[in-house]
Every structure is written in structure tokens, then in C-alpha cells.
Chains A and B, each alone.
Chain A
């Protein structure tokens, strides 16, 4: 069965410190991996994706993510957190096995950046 795990419901980090939001996955075949951010009363906004190539992917708002095939992980990172980064973050994976590349979403991680 295909699945995505975001092991932390909430991550707290001080402003200016680096942040990591974790994601691990289990899929058949080569995965396509995505991170989205959701602010209150808004839809999910695309941050970045991994399709193939470099394991370090750069995205919007200074975020990046590291793909690790052996650990089947795709952790979201940012070198210096901002209070405005506080939001709900979702990891999603798709593959040909998920049927027309439907998303399988993680349960979300709430990021709180403290001033």
C-alpha cells in the first residue's frame, strides 16, 4: 500500500533558527514528491517538487527539500525561519501506481515560528 507519513503534528522553532518538517513515503515505482503550505482560510499553495535529478530541491519563499531515496524521505527545510512561515504544511507523493498520478497526502504538520 502506498502511504505518506508526517510524523510530527506540530513543530515549534524560534525565528531565525533553521527549520525541518519531516516526510517519509512508501510507493511503488519512482515517486514524484511535493510540498504544499496552507495558511488559515486558504487553499494549499505549491512550494516545491522533486521529479528527478538533484536531491536538493529549491522552492518558493526560501524553502528547500532534500530527497533521500535510501531513507524514502523528503524533508522540508529552511535555513532561517520567519514568523510568517507559521502555517500547516503538507507533503504529497504521486506515482504511476497511484493512478493517473493522484496525490497521496500526509496528515500535515503545523509549523509555529516563535518571535
Chain B
């Protein structure tokens, strides 16, 4: 079975540019999570969706960050304008079901470097 698919795997861009990260969750999973991983702060939950609806975006660091899920098989995380401190690895994860017994499944991430 295909896992969570993220693109691009690597992104290098200059400060001020718009960045769009993409995620395709596992088919049939109804929860989607966006995380950011840095050495300093570890893994941070940015936002999560249930049935394509954003439920909790309290982890989104600033208004420069936005996320959408237009359908069950696609989500985007956008940064506009980007800043060097946004450099990190961004992960998408999906999960089936509301209860806590099912694990989240992670993609391989997008390594973002803002120059």
C-alpha cells in the first residue's frame, strides 16, 4: 500500500518567496497532521484536519503560514513570504479514526531551506 506521499522532498528558495508543500495522505484516512521538525524545537504540530476541515491550527507560527485540504487526498502547507527561520523539515502524517488507538503514519518530509 502506498504510504503518505510528500512533495517536493527538498526545497531551496530565497527569503520572501512563496513556498508550497504538498501531501497526499493514505487512502481512507480521515485525519491529516502537519508537523515541523527542527533541532532546536523538535517536532511541533502545526495544524490538523478531520474530514478535510481544519480542527486546530494553534501551532501555526504566524499568519505567513496557511494550510488547506481541498479534498480527502490532498493537502498543502503554504508559507508566504518565507523567512530563513522557516528552514526545517516539514512532515505530513495521516491517521484513520478519531480514537487514539490507531497510529499516525508519516511521510518522508520536505526539507526546506530558506536562504
Contacts and interface: CB of A to CB of B under 8 A. Distances in A.
B101 A102 contact: no
Given A100-B48, A100-B55, A46 B103 contact: yes
B104 A103 contact: yes
A101 B100 contact: yes
Given A44-B91, A44-B106, A46-B103, A100 B98 contact: yes
A25 to B, nearest CB: 13
Contact of A32 (B42, B55, B98, B100): B100
A32 B101 contact: yes
Contacts of B108: 41-43
B103 A34 contact: yes
A45 to B, nearest CB: 7
A94 interface: yes
Contacts, number: 52
Interface in A93-107: 94-96, 99-103, 105, 107
A115 to B, nearest CB: 27
A101 B55 CA distance: 12
B15 interface: no
A90 interface: yes
22 contacts: A32-B100, A34-B103, A41-B108, A41-B111, A42-B108, A42-B109, A43-B91, A43-B106, A43-B107, A44-B91, A46-B103, A49-B103, A51-B100, A94-B100, A99-B56, A100-B31, A100-B56, A101-B98, A102-B33, A102-B48, A102-B56, A103-B45
Interface of A: 32, 34, 36, 41-46, 49, 51, 90, 94-96, 99-103, 105, 107-108
